[in-house]
Chain A
């Protein structure tokens, strides 16, 4: 912006971007200094200052009431934090998966994904035995009478909950981060919908809400988590959270329980007696796109 133009705006009573930023910085300094003026909370978005327990309860209560009214159902909202000392991991037995897609729709029901337009957190890829794991030849749109089809195998892919997540690095506003138990979460209130994370994710695990999600009220899952399966607004990104609303309560993710062939395993890596540790010790295990050094917490294994 040229000096003349800036001058003109000033004299005409306009506010330049620079003036605005200075004013905001001043306010922030005042807040940090202890003179908290509650009328400024709206201005800063309610999350800008660290939320106290009461503030959080108030915000969640408001969200609960809104959703309960919208869907005519008693919605329960959780904010369970990561349990100390727990690191979640997942394992999928590709020698057993038959590609029936029960997990896909179980996930949709549990996590309140949009039915139209369709959002699926799990994508089941059909691949040819002869070609092995080859993403170029993979087909998520197989339409078969019965599965498994001869000569094919199936590879379900969802968020790999990387230890070195490219999506988190690419987010310009810090709306997505990795929690201490290993779950990468998204704050739908902060997400600006730029979709940088979608292009950064090498697994195609993130999905964008191009329109307002459509969820039938009768099939809404009222057991929700703030960072998980609460209905998303239009214009934000969403993805698998290992069913954060279930696993932080100690339960298995929905896809683990729904899988008819028992191909899906979930547990705590830090539990020496857990199934994940047994599996990593005794089975042939691999991760997808190892060469990218994303270090997934989602393992694939041969159980046979």
Chain B
């Protein structure tokens, strides 16, 4: 019985194997937003109550499982300049893919293999992985429609 190419048997996607180090460009912060601790003074006690924001960040419209999620599910309460995983482990914004990968494991696997998302650089060597948030707005990840480039000119007699 033909079971597909031989190399298909041996290689299962290995999400467990931690890659050496993933090169990413700087995360796409809003101008002047980082470091967050510039405004979020650690001395001021954090209001962890779920509420409509009125003093800042009103422009953020959360459309990412908003019924179940809120700011501090991803942003760390005590150190505002980092994110945190469900386990409580803190991760810098440069490794935000680990946070996203907690729920979107299939996409995370594909992204690491280079099949989901964007990479630039060399096919045979050093490449830069664009973070999830370079394409998806973390607060509203669905893609917005965009204007296409102009349609081609219909062929005419050019002779």
| A→B interface (CB under 8 Å) | 93, 98-102, 104-105, 117-118, 120, 123, 140-148, 210-211, 247, 250-252, 257, 259-262, 265-268, 271-272, 274-275, 277-279, 281-283, 303
Q: Return the chain B residue nearest A118 by Cβ.
A: B153
- Which 9 pairs from chain A and chain B are nearest by CB? A275-B114, A146-B145, A101-B149, A262-B118, A278-B113, A250-B122, A210-B158, A262-B117, A147-B148
Q: For residue B135, which residues in chain A have a CB less than 8 angstroms away from its CB?
A: 260-262
Give the dominant DSSP class at A's interface. Answer: loop
The segment out of B6-14, B23-31, B81-89, B93-101 that lies at the interface is B6-14
Which residues of chain A come closer than 8 Å to B8, judged between CB atoms? 281
Is B146 a contact of A100 with CB atoms below 8 Å?
Answer: yes
List 20 other contacts, CB 8 Å, given A143-B151, A252-B123: A99-B148, A100-B147, A101-B150, A146-B147, A147-B147, A210-B158, A210-B159, A250-B122, A251-B121, A252-B120, A257-B120, A260-B135, A261-B143, A266-B123, A272-B7, A272-B11, A274-B123, A277-B7, A277-B11, A278-B13
Q: A101-B149, A144-B148 are in contact. Are A268 and B115 (CB under 8 A)?
A: no
The distance in angstroms between the C-alpha atoms of A279 and B13, with both chains bound, is 10
Is the Cβ of B125 less than 8 Å from the Cβ of A140?
Answer: no
Q: Digit string of B110-153 for contact with A (CB within 8 Å is 1, else 0)?
A: 10011111111111110100100001000000010111111111
A287 CB to closest chain B CB (Å) equals: 16
State whether A265 and B120 are in contact (beta carbons under 8 Å apart), knowing that A104-B152, A147-B148 are contacts in the complex.
no
In the complex, how many angstroms separate the beta carbon of B113 from the nearest chain A beta carbon? 4
**Chain B residues with Cβ under 8 A from A267's Cβ?**
114, 123
Kindly state whether residue B51 has any CB partner on chain A within 8 Å.
no
Query: How far apart are B17's CB and chain A's nearest CB, in angstroms?
Result: 11
When the two chains form their complex, are residues A265 and B125 in contact, meaning their CB atoms are under 8 A apart? no
Closest to A142 in B: B151
- Number of inter-chain CB pairs below 8 Å: 105
CB pair B152 A120 closer than 8 Å: yes
- The reply to whether the CB of B154 lies closer than 8 angstroms to some CB of chain A is yes
Provide a sorted-by-A list of 10 A–B residue pairs whose CB atoms are within 8 angstroms: A99-B148, A101-B150, A101-B151, A147-B146, A247-B123, A250-B123, A260-B135, A261-B135, A283-B115, A303-B116
Contact B147 A279 (CB under 8 A): no
Q: Are B149's CB and A100's CB within 8 A? A: yes
Instruction: Give the distance to chain A from B12, nearest Cβ to Cβ, in Å.
Output: 9
A292 CA to B59 CA, complexed, in Å: 54
* Partner of B158 from A100, A117, A268, A279 at Cβ < 8 Å: A117
A259-B118 contact, Cβ under 8 Å, with A117-B158, A281-B11: yes
> Shortest beta-carbon distance, A258 to chain B, in Å?
9
Chain A residues with Cβ below 8 Å from B125 are 250
A116 to chain B minimum Cβ distance, whole angstroms, is 8
B136 to chain A, nearest CB (A): 10
CA distance A211 to B20 in the complex (A): 52
A210 to B153 Cα, complex, angstroms: 15
Contact A123 B152 (CB under 8 A): yes
